[in-house]
Structure 1
Amino acid sequence: MLLRLPTSLTEAQDCMAEGAVPIGGATLVWALWQRDGFPEQAMSLRSLPEATMLEREALGAAVLLHRIDDRVPEVLRGAASTVGTGAVRRTATVGGNIVGSTLRCLLPAALVLDTRATALDRDGVFETDLAEVVAKRHLLLSLHWRTPMASGYHKAPAEAGGPPPLVVATAVHAEEDGRRRVRVAVRDGYEVIGGSADCTAGTDETLRALAATDLGSLPPGIGDVMRGEVSGVLARAAGG
């Protein structure tokens, strides 16, 4: 197998056109390749500047999870720090987790940040939302968001090899009109359920508004966890 390491977007497009298979840290595909056979060419974005940025409001798809630090919001940092083991986090990438993984541990965190994605195809670079990236398995270059007022990440304890643990991600954003909005994403099993509500009026009104979204269909126990996480992030956003 030939591993190609493009250093420019043009080179990356050439690799795609020539059939190179994109990989992240290869933590997910290596076992499959050993079983089913290796492709003739693979492509890593680890030498591409557009895919390796780590900034206050941007994160490259080729960034290794263990490198994600306090430059990014708490919710995204918390998500990255709980993926697998330390050895996995030193190999796995942002893009591999969001696009290649069935668990997509970073996805709830990215959703509550109202993240936009930059991707690459044979026609060039384009911006899209995370739903399209996941559904169409685009070649992800980077994620971009606006810094929230406060955010939080909860992941329930779970045994290795067991069912996916519950994840609740929350973030409070300042709107242009001076109001505030809370965004919530819950991973229950392999499904991610999201909702948002104006949170200017206070915690009780916010929770009632969230209950009118898809989040209102959560089982009672999970709903209790979600409400506790929302109450906590609202208090932090208010300086409490």
Structure 2
Amino acid sequence: MLLRLPTSVSEARECLAEGAVPIGGATLLWAEWQRDGFPALAMSLRGVPEAGVLGRDALGAAVVLHRIDDRVPDVLRLAAASVGTGAVRRTATVGGNLVGSTLRCLLPAALVLEARASVLGPDGVRETDLSEVTAKRPLLLGLRWREPVASAYRKLSAAPGGRPPLTVSVALHADTAGPRRLRVAVRDGYEVIDGGAPHDGDPDTALHTLRQTALRDLPEAAWDAVAAQVAVVLRAADDV
């Protein structure tokens, strides 16, 4: 297998045109390749500046999970810290988690941040939403979002070898006009469900509105976790 290491978006685009298979840390691909055979040509984005961004409002696809720190909102930092073991987090990348993983541990956090994705295709770089990223699995360059007022994340305990643990991601956003917005995303098993509600100062009203969204069918244990994380975010927002 020949591995290409482009140092620019234009070089990465040329590699794609040559049929290079994108890899991140290869944590998910290695076993598959050992079983089915290695590709003739692969490509890593770790040398492309746009894929290595790490800041308050952006995160590159080639960033390995253990590097995600308090430069990003809490919900994303905590979600990244909950993935696998330390050894996994030192090699797994943002792009691999969002595009290649069935668990997509970072997806709920990205959804509540209302993140937009930059992807690279045959026609160049374009911006798209997370639903296309998960459905069509394009080559992800990175994510960008508007910094929230406050955010929080919780991963509930689960029996080893059973269903993936339930996770709750919450973020509070503010606009120049109108009420603040609460965004909630829950990973229940392998399914990610999200919803939003305006927040005018009454958390009970916001939770009632959230129960009318796609989150409505969550079990009560999940709603208890949602209510607890909403309370965490609103307390944090009061301190801002």
For structure 2, the residue ranges without an aligned partner over 5 or more in a row are none
In the alignment, is residue 2 of structure 1 matched against residue 7 of structure 2? no
Distance 1:147 1:53 in 2: 15
Q: Specify the alignment match of 1:206 in structure 2.
A: 206
Q: Specify the alignment match of 1:53 in structure 2.
A: 53
Distance 2:80 2:108 in 1: 11
- So what's the TM-score if we normalise by structure 1? 0.97
Q: Which residue type is aligned with residue 17 of structure 2?
A: A
Q: Specify the alignment match of 2:116 in structure 1.
A: 116
Q: Specify the alignment match of 2:38 in structure 1.
A: 38
Q: How do residues 1-240 of structure 1 correspond to structure 2 at under 5 angstroms?
A: 1-239=1-239
The superposition leaves residues 57-103 of structure 1 with CA deviations (integer Å, 9 ceiling, x where unpaired) of: 11000000000011000000000001000000000000000000000
Distance 1:85 1:143 in 2: 24
Deviation at 1:28, TM superposition (A): 0.1
Deviation at 1:238, TM superposition (A): 2.1
Q: Which residue type is aligned with residue 46 of structure 1?
A: R
The superposition leaves residues 157-195 of structure 1 with CA deviations (integer Å, 9 ceiling, x where unpaired) of: 235543211000000000220520000000000000100
Q: Which residue type is aligned with residue 101 of structure 1?
A: S
Residue identity over aligned pairs, in percent, reads: 65
Farther off after superposition, 10-19 or 226-235: 226-235
Q: Which residue type is aligned with residue 79 of structure 1?
A: A
Distance 1:159 1:34 in 2: 30
For structure 1, the residue ranges without an aligned partner over 5 or more in a row are none
Distance 1:104 1:160 in 2: 18
The superposition leaves residues 10-34 of structure 1 with CA deviations (integer Å, 9 ceiling, x where unpaired) of: 1111111111000110000000000
Q: Which residue type is aligned with residue 237 of structure 2?
A: A
Q: Which residue type is aligned with residue 23 of structure 1?
A: I
Deviation at 1:214, TM superposition (A): 1.2
SS at match of 1:13: helix
Q: Which residue type is aligned with residue 63 of structure 2?
A: V
Distance 1:160 1:33 in 2: 27
Farther off after superposition, 105-114 or 224-233: 224-233
Distance 2:209 2:201 in 1: 11
Q: Which residue type is aligned with residue 172 of structure 1?
A: L
Farther off after superposition, 225-234 or 137-146: 225-234
The superposition leaves residues 197-230 of structure 1 with CA deviations (integer Å, 9 ceiling, x where unpaired) of: 0011411111111111111211111111111211
Farther off after superposition, 221-230 or 154-163: 154-163
- So what's the TM-score if we normalise by structure 2? 0.97
- How many residue pairs match? The answer is 240
Specify whether residues 9 and 85 from structure 1 end up closer, same or farther in structure 2 by C-alpha distance, changes over 3 A only: same
Distance 2:208 2:16 in 1: 48
